[in-house]
Structure 1
């Protein structure tokens, strides 16, 4: 964490400069058996590719509104940081009809059709796999993103004082996201190298802060778990031990 970081994208850049090889996000889906581990460098590469897709192919501009209809997932984290890198406002669970573009998982496709702008669908399959057949009217993220550039430079600097995130109806600027992420990290007792395991949903600030922003701000990492109801107490205890987790939030 760098004291001069003022946007979430700054936090990621600082993490990349400090130690690109350290784990940043480990994702489990207990319904499918999936496990994915992303280092800071790997995560930042996904963010860069997604930001290039947003800015280039989708012609998104700072201030555009993106309705993000995705669950707590590592690819959701990528989309949030890509929005922050381009100045696009990420609205978690936002109204597609009022958005400039929409990003949806399989369960949100019908709702997402209300967006008159670009529509991106994610299959949320293991390892970022594509749909067997993309939903009609949607671009398949897994098809579009691999060919994007590995480095990203915004056409215009992203202001920390402009809106960056809407969650549970609350709008935050980039600077406010950083400030509140640091406060949440302090409240949770997170510091450099700490690992937090969370199964919280991302439909409110506490959930998305625990699953992304607070560990990023603290220089820690997250074990992000989906469908934890299918995990036994013994299985959870093993995971906590194996992943060297210091804090569990379910």
Structure 2
């Protein structure tokens, strides 16, 4: 966290310049039993590779809109920050027909075909696994991203006053995303080292902020849980204890 940060990409760079080894995103899928923990450094590496894919392979330019037809997932978090790095507008659950490109999970592939631009499919399988067979008309993210560079340099650095996020009927510039994330972090009482457990989706600002952006702005981390409703009270309490959760949303 740095007072001079003006875009979401700046927030990630500040986290990386701090304690890069600390956890940033811990992901659970309670329908499959999957658990993945990404340090700041590992998360940033995924972001860099994805940003290179967006810029060089998909030929997206600043201002292009990316419909993210994805659930709350660690790979969705990666895509949100990769969009911020490249200056494209992240649009969770947007109409793919109105988007310049689309990124879809396995449950949204048919809807994603409405996009006339590049289409990327995520299997959302454990450990970022590939589809057994790539969906026709889509690039398989798990096939395309490993070979991308570990360092990302944008051709055009994202402008803080350019739209960075379109979610839940709101459009926010990079500066507005950072300012609102900081305000939300303050309202939640987050501080460096806080651990936020979130069972919310990423379809609107509150889910995005509480489940990623506010913890990032505060130097905190998130325990992101998909299908959290499958846990009973005892299992939820055990998770909070084992993950040293300080805040729940």
Matched, 1:242 2:242: yes
SS at match of 2:209: helix
Count of residue pairs the alignment pairs up: 249
TM-score (norm 2): 0.99
| Secondary structure in structure 1 of the residue aligned to 2:143 | helix
Tell me which residue corresponds to 2:220: 220
List 4+ stretches of structure 1 deviating above 4 A: none
Equivalent residue for 2:165? 165
Matched with 1:136 is: 136
Task: State how far apart, in whole Å, the 1-side matches of 2:143 and 2:169 are.
Answer: 32
Question: Cα deviation per residue 1:40-77 (whole Å; 9 max; x = unaligned)?
Answer: 00000000000000000111100011111000111000
C-alpha displacement of 1:230: 1.2
Distance in 2 (alpha carbons) for counterparts of 1:201 and 1:57:
28
Match of 1:205 in 2: 205
Cα deviation per residue 1:10-55 (whole Å; 9 max; x = unaligned)? 0000000001000000000000000000000000000000000000
3-state SS in 2 of match to 1:146: coil
Mapped to 2, the partners of 1:81 and 1:34 lie a distance apart of 22
For the residues of structure 1 that align with 2:203 and 2:157, how far apart are their CA atoms? Answer: 28
Residue segments in structure 1 that go unaligned for 5+ positions in a row = none
Q: In 2, Cα distance between the equivalents of 1:76 and 1:104?
A: 10
1:232 positional shift: 1.4
Work out the CA distance in 1 between the residues paired with 2:218 and 2:96.
Answer: 33
Q: Deviations over 1:120-163 (max 9, x none)?
A: 00000001111001111000000000000000000011100000
Give the 3-state SS of the residue equivalent to 1:149 in structure 2: coil
